[in-house]
Amino acid sequence: MIQSGQSMSSSRGITGPANPATVDFSCVKVDDTDPPAEKKRVASTLDVAVQRLRTPSPQVGDEDSEAESFRDGRTEEVDQDTRVRAHAWCRDFLSGSWKSLQEKDFQISIVSGGLSNLLYLCSYRTMCLCWETNLGRCCSGSMAPSYRLVLSDVSYVCKYVCVYVAVVVVVVVNINNALLLCIFFQGVDSLVLESVMFAILAERTLGPKLYGIFPDGRLEQYLPNTRMRTDQLSQPSVSAEIATKVARFHNMVMPFNKEPKWLFGTIDKYMDQVMKLKFNREAHVKKYSKLMKLDLPGELERLRALLAATPSPVVFCHNDVQEGNILILDDKDQSSNEQLMLIDFEYSSYNYRGFDFGNHFCEWMYDYTYNQWPFYKASPENYPTREQQLHFLRSYLAEQERLSDTKIDQTQVEDMIIEANRYALASHFLWGLWSIIQAKISKIEFGYMDYAQCRFDAYFKQKKLFS
């Protein structure tokens, strides 16, 4: 998992199997040739199984120099360098009153929520009088624009992670003269790919409108919205609409490589980087050493074998459907019951359908708005039950049936449950490796090493249930 592209999410835990590397990874393949009793046996274990998925958040009392440094919560003040640069970006790239904005009138504050990016709220004290008297219209009579400005600037080179690019996202909310400044790191190739993807999705009204693309970034539409909370993902109406959005996303034909290379290509890349990392902070060294005892390379090969034996169609996937990447639109069409929109497509690619399912189910457990160290809260008991998974998958199939205008066999939902929960393993593995890397390179206040441990603990517990 957030403004991803922005961003990504994760969480952490401290418990795990005594010796996870020795757990048997034999595949239990359930297909149409299996007797009904076998399918029923596997399906009926889900309700009991999810009750055993327990990976608590780290305790505040744990000895950890990193946790100790954040005893008072997140940093509230913006450093002077960031303030000066933010003022310059707003003045140089935005129109209207921003062009003549003096630094003394410029306001900036930290917004929590980003795990791959830094978020700031920028505003100014006064506005052009004509905007006030003409209800948001400038002297020319045209509406004041609302948009996000995305810029790129080479930031630094990490020895183990290639070149990263700092990208500034600015969202202008004209009603209160505020905008959102988002600084995050993303490769150049990824930025180009996301811009193309963004343009196509905007054209198909599946994402915010795109106002312009240029060498240094892009301009995006700002959509007034209410931030979705993690606990809202389990609401039946919300879950059903998310499933509908995912089905539409999967139904798209995009001009990208159709081979499902993204999942294990990304995991392999992360694994190579993780195995070469060197940490200096004692707390990181200890946590990294503990993770290395899990024999991650060997575990990856067992995961690869399991998923090779788990049928899953290749579709165009979002790959990061979590609450931070779902907008609850304030200005929804009154004639429609729909109010959600998926955003942030930097991880989107052709991939195995099961990953979108399993990854989304995992995200039910992690709240990234927690304001105390490690700045997330893991609630394994919130992993969707069998009935909640069925509700999501049946809503997905209903939309697929509507889009294709053909009758879809609803009995396949039992196989889809197995598909989703096995690919949830890939979600834990991917974001666990990602978080170890972030612990080395990220400046964001977040317990990335704890989050990595949490995801791998959840991986081994999930593996016992669904491998």
- Encoded tokens for 189: 């190739």
For residues 108 and 371, the model is more confident at 371
Please give the pLDDT value at position 35. Answer: 47
SS3 425: helix
d(CA 431, CA 335): 39
**Mean per-residue pLDDT for 125-145?**
41
**Sheet with 340-342: strands ordered across:** 225-227, 326-329, 340-342
Please give the pLDDT value at position 131. Answer: 38
Please give the pLDDT value at position 10. Answer: 32
> 197-244: per-residue pLDDT in tens?
888 888 888 888 776 665 545 656 777 788 899 999 999 999 999 999
pLDDT grade for 194, boundaries at 50, 70 and 90: confident
d(CA 78, CA 68): 21
Between CA 428 and CA 434, with CA 429 as vertex, the angle to 5 degrees is: 100
Q: Phi and psi for 8 in degrees, rounded to 5?
A: -145, 160
Between CA 220 and CA 223, with CA 222 as vertex, the angle to 5 degrees is: 130
Residue 105 has pLDDT above 90, yes or no: no
> 352-406: per-residue pLDDT in tens?
999 999 999 999 999 999 989 999 999 999 999 999 999 999 999 999 999 998 8
279 neighbors 291 (Cβ within 8 angstroms) = no
Question: Tokens 């002297």 appear where?
Answer: 139
Instruction: Supply the CATH classification number for the domain 20-72+227-466.
Output: 3.90.1200.10
- Encoded tokens for 37: 């009793």
Nearest CA among 160, 143, 150, 165 for reference residue 344: 150
Please give the pLDDT value at position 242. Answer: 98
**Mean per-residue pLDDT for 182-199?**
64
Torsion of CA 235, 236, 240, 245, to 10 degrees: -10
SS3 186: strand
| E strand or H helix that includes residue 203 | helix 188-203
173 neighbors 184 (Cβ within 8 angstroms) = no
Residue 54 has pLDDT above 80, yes or no: no
DSSP sequence for 102-147: -GGGEEEEEE---SSEEEEEEEES---HHHHHTTTB-TTSPBPP-E
For residues 273 and 57, the model is more confident at 273
Please give the pLDDT value at position 167. Answer: 33
Please give the pLDDT value at position 116. Answer: 54
> 417-428: per-residue pLDDT in tens?
999 999 999 999
- CA gyration radius, the chain: 23
- Give the whole-number percent of the chain exceeding pLDDT 70: 62
**Mean per-residue pLDDT for 79-103?**
77
d(CA 320, CA 367): 15
Most confident of 146-150, 256-260, 328-332: 256-260
92-106, 119-133, 244-258, 268-282: least confident range: 119-133
**Mean per-residue pLDDT for 138-158?**
35
For residues 30 and 105, the model is more confident at 105
**Mean per-residue pLDDT for 130-147?**
39
SS3 391: helix
420 neighbors 454 (Cβ within 8 angstroms) = no
Query: Running DSSP on this structure, what letter comes out for residue 368?
Result: T
| E strand or H helix that includes residue 181 | strand 178-186
Residues facing residue 154 across a β-bridge: 165
d(CA 448, CA 454): 10
Residues 6+ positions from 457 with CB-CB distance below 8 Å:
13, 14, 15, 16, 55
For residues 91 and 347, the model is more confident at 347
Q: Phi and psi for 130 in degrees, rounded to 5?
A: -65, -25
Please give the pLDDT value at position 372. Answer: 92
Please give the pLDDT value at position 174. Answer: 35
Question: Could you tell me where in the chain the CATH 3.90.1200.10 domains are found?
Answer: 20-72+227-466
- Encoded tokens for 57: 């958040």
**Bond prior to 255 in cis (omega within 30° of 0):** no
* Residues 365-403: b if buried by 16+ CB within 10 A, e if exposed: bbbbebeebbbbbbbbebbbbbebbbbbbebbbbbbeee
**Mean per-residue pLDDT for 114-140?**
50
Please give the pLDDT value at position 224. Answer: 79
Give the chain's largest Cα–Cα span. Answer: 74
Torsion of CA 41, 42, 48, 53, to 10 degrees: 160
> 16-39: per-residue pLDDT in tens?
333 333 333 333 334 444 444 444
Mutual angle of helices 386-404 and 236-250, in 10-degree steps: 40
For residues 307 and 150, the model is more confident at 307
Please give the pLDDT value at position 8. Answer: 34
Residue 439 has pLDDT above 80, yes or no: yes
Please give the pLDDT value at position 94. Answer: 66
Judge if pTM exceeds 0.85: no
- Give the whole-number percent of the chain exceeding pLDDT 90: 45
Nearest CA among 154, 123, 179 for reference residue 3: 179
- Encoded tokens for 30: 């359930």
For residues 21 and 342, the model is more confident at 342
